[in-house]
Amino acid sequence: MPILRDNELDIISHSVEQTQRIGARLGALLQAGDVICLAGDMGAGKTVFTAGIGRGWGAIAPVTSPTFNLVHEHRREKDNLRLIHIDCYRLQGVADLETIGFDDILARHGVLIIEWPERIEGALPKDKLWIEFNILEPTRRSFLLEADGARYQQLLNQFKEATFGV
Amino acid sequence: MTYILGIESSCDETAAAVVIDGKTIASNVVATQIDLHAKYGGVFPEVASRAHVEAIGAVVEQAMEDAGIDYSQLDAIAVTRGPGLVGSLLVGVNYAKGLALSTGKPLLGIHHIEGHIYSLWLTQPFREVVFPVLVLIVSGGHTDLILMRGHGQYERLGGTLDDAAGEAFDKVGRLLGLPFPGGPHIQQAAQLGNPTAYKFPRAKQDESYDFSFSGLKTAVMREVTVQPSTQARSKRRRGAEKKARLRSDVSVHDVAASFQAALVDILVEKTARAAAEYGATEILIAGGVSANSLLRQQMRAKTELPVRYPPLNLCTDNGAMIAAAAHMRFEMGLRSNLNFEVLPMWPLTSDAYELADKMV
């Protein structure tokens, strides 16, 4: 177990199903205005994890890859909150954000999930949850969750409790 | 006779067409932007909307000229309202609104996927479709199995849980160093390859009608790339991007052929099973990936039912399909408000048009 800071959490998933369940745990805790960044290589499990987030959050439509359209917007039954899922893979940098209406998206105050956040780092809010995905072995993945700011520290603590009971 | 002008700009093709009675193509003009986007490895929104702006006027004029008619002879103007890229959709919609305003013709905002489905009505106009039919939509952004019991009636049986089929082609193409778009280039590379060289998983072999291509993509990546170093934590990793490298002993042809075979197997198995279960009279395939010849051939081979797919020029986005779908909607009485908004995400359901204005 690597030595982590207080605002970090390291998890290993042994299967696609487990990755989705971990995502669902996180999804159930998300609130309006939360920003979750998912970084890591292709095939590292970002979309699977997001599908889990969608399930836990209560998205009506299944969460699928937004690579083609760049932005997917989800809704749920219980309230008017939106979950906005962005893929920045094809963006070349911050300047391209205008083309997907990033300012509008931030202003909508929904839950924001960003894949390939490395591409637009300069434009991201200071406070956020950053999750780094790594491929360990064919079916094993590690996730490093890092909280920036008080809200995300709280989210991380809630997530730890929901997942490990500590 | 009903003349409808169809305008499509939801992604990377600027297109317009005039269709008579929803069946006969009087003109069909498409300005593609593939070359513009090839260097990005995918459609790039800003570039796409700029190219749409530049092309749309000429494309529509050309479609009218080819059809040999005047705006006054049109019965309606149809345009893709969604789903698609916001910036791209807006170009077509704003242009169509302007035309509708200046000509006084009714305007219809049409669902892009419904357009793909109704491209099938342009292919064999003299053989009427007998419902129910099973529709497989396969494109860069969509993979859906839909049961149609009547015009405009869509029951979604299943769809992709992660990547769309066309997206899987693009991503594997990129891994193999093939140009964008992945579909045609993988098909070409596969011709020289052995489809049984690699055993890629036919994931999601269950009772559902859902697809999953992410696992297949990851399996291909695992097979053909150098394993990334297994350090659990890259140092201050932000911004540092790891690029998967292709192994030097890999045959691109064999991988392309094996991947294509796996993906087609998945699509065909579920489609054939659903068609049998729901008593479909026919299988319809539409969307960009319906151009894949192995998919067409396997679908015919693995089912007794007739299989209908568009000619190659109607597989990719075009205005004729929008006009064809619009004809059906026009007959049903749809007239869109001149101030309607585009819908980047718009699920195709039987009540899609009723829900449309509530979604904004």
- pLDDT tens per residue, range A92-139: 778 778 777 788 888 888 999 999 999 898 899 999 999 999 988 888
**pTM of the entire structure?**
0.86
User: Would you say A128 and B217 are in contact if contact means Cβ atoms under 8 Å apart?
Assistant: no
CB nearest to B162's CB, from A10, A51, A130: A51
Pairing of strands B143-150, B76-82: unpaired
Identify which of B131, B122, B184 has the alpha carbon closest to the alpha carbon of residue B154.
B131
Question: Which of chain B's residues have a Cβ under 8 Å away from the Cβ of A93?
Answer: none
Contacts of A1 in chain B (CB under 8 A): none
Give the position of tokens 């904004």: B360
Helix (H, G, I), strand (E, B) or coil at B31: strand
Q: Residues B186-213: what's their mean pLDDT?
A: 90
**Which pLDDT score is estimated for A147?**
96
> Confidence class of residue B241 from pLDDT cuts 50, 70 and 90?
low
Which pLDDT band, with edges at 50, 70 and 90, does B195 fall under? very high
- Token reading at B66: 């080819």
Q: Cβ contact (<8 Å) for B164 and A68?
A: yes
| B243-270 average pLDDT score | 92
Alpha-carbon gap: B167 to the closest alpha carbon of chain A (Å): 7
Mean pLDDT of A34-46: 93
Q: Could you give phi then psi for residue B237, rounded to 5 degrees? A: -75, -15
State whether A118 and B239 contact (CB < 8 Å): yes
CB within 8 Å of B307: residues ≥ 6 apart? B282, B283, B284, B285, B296, B299, B300
pLDDT at A115: 94
Average pLDDT, integer, range B65-82: 97
Q: Shortest Cα distance from B183 to chain A (angstroms)?
A: 14
Q: Which of A67, A99, A135 sits opposite B46 (nearest CB)?
A: A99
Task: Please give the share of chain B, as a percent, with pLDDT higher than 70.
Answer: 93
Q: Which two tokens stand for residue B109?
A: 């905002």
| Superfamily for domain range A11-160 | P-loop containing nucleotide triphosphate hydrolases (3.40.50.300)
Specify the pLDDT at position A60: 86
Look at residue A107 in the predicted model and tell me its pLDDT: 86
User: Cβ separation of A135 and B40 shorter than 8 Å?
Assistant: no
CB nearest to B244's CB, from A42, A47, A71: A42
Tokens of B279: 């008593």
Nearest residue in chain B measured CA to CA from A131: B238
Tell me the nearest-neighbour CA distance from A127 into chain B, angstroms.
15
Is the pLDDT assigned to residue B238 strictly greater than 60? no
Tokens 């049961």: give the residue: B147
Report whether pLDDT(A82) > 80. yes
Predicted pLDDT of residue A66: 86
Q: Above 60 in pLDDT, residue A31? A: yes
**Which residues of B are less than 8 Å from A142 in CB distance?**
232-233
Query: What is the edge-to-edge ordering of all strands in the sheet holding B107-111?
Result: B24-32, B13-20, B3-8, B76-82, B107-111
- Yes or no, beta carbons of B237 and A73 under 8 Å apart: no
B171 and A42 within 8 Å at the Cβ level: the answer is: yes
Pairing of strands B133-138, B283-286: parallel
> What residues contact residue B221 under an 8 Å CB cut-off, 6+ apart?
A42, A43, B175, B244
Q: In this model, does residue B65 exceed pLDDT 60? A: yes
Which residues from chain B sit within 8 angstroms of residue A53, using beta carbons?
none
Q: If pLDDT is split at 50, 70 and 90, which confidence band does B229 have? A: low
Q: What pLDDT score was predicted for residue B282?
A: 96
**Band of the pLDDT at B233, cuts 50, 70, 90?**
very low
Query: Could you give the CA distance from residue B149 to residue B169 in angstroms, rounded to a whole number?
Result: 31
Interface of A with B (CB under 8 A): 2, 10, 16, 39, 41-43, 47-48, 51, 61-62, 64-65, 67-73, 89-90, 92, 96, 98-101, 118, 121, 130, 132, 134-138, 142, 144
Q: What percent of chain A has pLDDT over 70?
A: 98
Report the mean per-residue pLDDT for chain A: 90
pLDDT at B37: 78
Residue A146 has pLDDT above 80, yes or no: yes
- Average of per-residue pLDDT across B136-163: 94
Q: Which of A39, A90, A101 sits opposite B42 (nearest CB)?
A: A90
- Which of the 8 DSSP states describes residue B245? P
Q: How many CB pairs under 8 A join A and B?
A: 111
User: How far is it, in rounded angstroms, from Cα B150 to Cα B339?
Assistant: 29
Q: Which has the closest alpha carbon to B164: B81, B80, B266?
A: B266
Q: Which amino acid, A128?
A: K
Closest chain A residue to B44 measured between Cα atoms? A90
Percent of chain A with pLDDT over 90: 58
